[in-house]
Structure 1
Amino acid sequence: MAKPIPLAVWDRKTLQVHQDWMDDAKSHYESEPRRSPTQWLESQPLFDWFYAALQRSRWSARKIQPFIEKHNIDMSEFEPVRYRSYNEFFIRKFRAGMRTFPAEQNEMGAFAEARYFGWDSVESDQKFPIKGHSLNAEGILGSKERARAFENGPVMLARLAPVDYHRVHYPDDGKITDSDRIAGRLWTINWRALQNKPDILFQNERHVQILQTHNFGQLGFVEIGAMTVGRVVQTHPIDKPFRRGAEKGYFSFGGSAIVVFGEPRAWRPCSDVLRNTPEGIETFLRLGELVAAA
């Protein structure tokens, strides 16, 4: 039986905790995905293909304005374009200058406008809010060789809801040293779902890249599709250096998540993220806001 539950989120800008919930996207808040027939159906790649085609159709554009009004999205922050489909609206771009990244080299800006958990390091026997097994670097990165550099290092998990800006940006200058796509299912990703199905992050569709950055060492950067997001699109050429704040790629329609692994003692998530995480409270950060520091 389906059991969607709202999620507690602390907003750094308002300094308040609110219950994150979208009644028009209940499956993204499912706490027991294995027991939900809807989750099973929507996690199938064939369903994802069909649903994605629907969201790319011209017919889907009629959903845009009601969605904007219901969720109070400030469209003045985004480029003024005419969206021909719901998916075009979903991958909308900010106007130039609407979000900025830190100028200080040792400060890492939020690579996505999302809800964050963070750890100095993840213990294998960790139980709450996310089981340590769920954040195993080897399982998520896809190989023991990739994971070796990140053993006992910091970890961040960012969850993007359907209402969010779904483009991803680089947290620093650097280059891509390894890139891989790992096919999989599309279970929802939230901490309650990970409590009940700890292997979600190993099973879902994901894009894995190792980033060699100027100020934060190596990063294991993993974009994970979740609930009708089978397409993680990389817009930056993998053979070209990248700059801090530059667009990396985007998620097509749905919910999604990003896991970032760091080398031991290379950087530390912000104090509010670290404080809220053991309480099961995500920290909402806008793109470019301080998320960690070296």
Structure 2
Amino acid sequence: MASEYIDRKTGKRCIEKFYGQRALSLFYGDGWWSRLFFLTVLPVLAHVPWFSYLYGYLQKRPRSARKIASFIQVYGVDKREFLEAEFRSFNDFFIRKLKPEARPVSQDPRVLVAPADARYLVYPRFEAFSIKEKTFSLREFLQNIELTHRYREGSMVIARLCPSDYHRFHFPCDAFVSKAKLIPGPLFSVNPMALQKKLSILVENKRMVTEVHSERFGMLLYLEIGATCVGSIRQTYQPETVVKKGEEKGYFEFGGSCIVLFLEKGKVRFDEDLLRNTQAGFETRMNYGESLAFKVP
């Protein structure tokens, strides 16, 4: 099953290359074996953390570094952006840092920037997303009644990272930030094939929630969602402090993963290309630091 997205730089449609294509087709395909596996074995694996932790451990072994060169070639990763040229393991490569000039951050104070290199969907009204995707419950997702009331008429951003992406994530604006809170859950894949099969994965998966208080953009919710083989979501920022736009918040260890942002009603206007692509059913591939939305005057 092919998954198309729009590359923001070129405006062209691209077909995503899935890491572990065979396994994904087996787990989330349309054959009888896939359906049986999806209903029986997969829920067990997703609810047993040791599977993802074991896989993560193997990616930290020195032997895993052998995979880096072929991965870079197959997925077109730009080595010129790397802050360091050598990596001790595949996981070190996966959580690599980039040269500052590789990801310029918009300095316009009116601009809310993309928090990660990812494929983006934007919804000016969460209500529109919830009607379309009936299996998504905001209350279950946030596990907090007060926050549910605050954001149910607000805006929503979904940023999906795939294994070839830079996997550190950043703050989208200047703000005062709280401590990240863990909501336990399983570790299903957030690959498009998996989400088409079961969108409620976003509601179920392990996730972390951070309240981001911005004078300009109001109160945002910033959620990192774990996925298969992403047992670890690492926070590197200092809680209960003021942060700058573009400052690193943390990183995902090996695997695909997802970030979700919620904004209060009427605070921002999303960029037109992101709105257009989302309405047409396409994700937009963009880098962290690029414009995501503007403050509503």
TM-score, L = length of structure 2: 0.89
Query: CA 1:194–1:34 in 2, change beyond 3 Å: closer, same or farther?
Result: farther
Measured in 2, the distance between the counterparts of 1:221 and 1:56 equals 28
**1:266 match:** 267
Deviations 1:229-252 (A, max 9, x none): 111100001122211000000000
Q: Distance in 2 between matches of 1:23 and 1:249?
A: 23
Over the aligned positions, Cα root-mean-square deviation in angstroms equals 2.2
The match for 2:66 among 62, 72, 76 is 62
Report the equivalent of 2:287. 286
Measure the CA separation in 1 of the matches of 2:89 and 2:45: 21
Matches of 2:70 and 2:157 in 1, distance apart?
33
Is the Cα contact below 8 Å between 2:217 and 2:267 reproduced in 1? yes
1:65 maps to a residue whose letter is A
The aligned residue for residue 196 of structure 1 is 197
Report the equivalent of 1:252: 253
Give the residue type in structure 2 aligned to 1:286.
N
- Aligned equivalents of 1:40, 1:166: Cα separation in 2: 26
C-alpha separation in 2, matches of 1:261 and 1:125: 12
Asked whether the 8 Å contact 2:84–2:97 carries over to 1, the reply is no
Gaps of 5+ in 1: none
- Per mean C-alpha deviation after superposition, the further-off stretch among 182-191 and 234-243 is 182-191
- Alpha-carbon shift at residue 48 of structure 1 (Å): 0.5
SS at match of 1:258: strand
Q: Is 1:89 aligned with 2:90? A: no
Distance 2:35 2:254 in 1: 22
Matches within 5 A, 1:1-294: 5-22=1-18, 24-27=20-23, 31=28, 36-37=37-38, 39-40=42-43, 42-43=45-46, 44-123=48-127, 126=130, 128=132, 131-134=133-136, 136-177=137-178, 179-190=180-191, 193-294=194-295
User: Sequence identity, in percent?
Assistant: 34
Distance of 1:178 and 1:147 partners within structure 2: 19
Cα distance change on mapping 1:138 and 1:223 into 2, 3 Å: same
Q: Residues 77 and 98 of structure 1 are in contact (CA less than 8 Å); yes or no, is this contact kept in structure 2?
A: yes
Query: Aligned partners of 2:198, 2:252: CA distance in 1, in Å?
Result: 23
Does the CA-based 8 Å contact 2:178-2:241 persist in structure 1?
no
Distance 1:270 1:279, change over 3 A: same
Q: Which has the higher helix share?
A: 2
Task: Letter of the 1:158 partner, please give it.
Answer: A
Question: In the aligned structure 2, how far is the partner of 1:237 from the partner of 1:126?
Answer: 33
Distance 1:253 1:42, change over 3 A: farther
Residue 41 of structure 1 deviates from its aligned partner by: 5.8
Q: Distance in 1 between matches of 2:45 and 2:72?
A: 24
* Structure 1 residues 63 and 264, CA gap change in structure 2 (3 angstroms): same
Q: Determine the C-alpha separation between the residues in 1 that align with 2:35 and 2:201.
A: 10
Is residue 34–residue 197 contact of structure 1 (8 Å, CA) maintained in 2?
no
Mean Cα deviation higher: 248-257 or 79-88: 79-88
One-letter amino acid of the structure 2 residue matched with residue 94 of structure 1: L
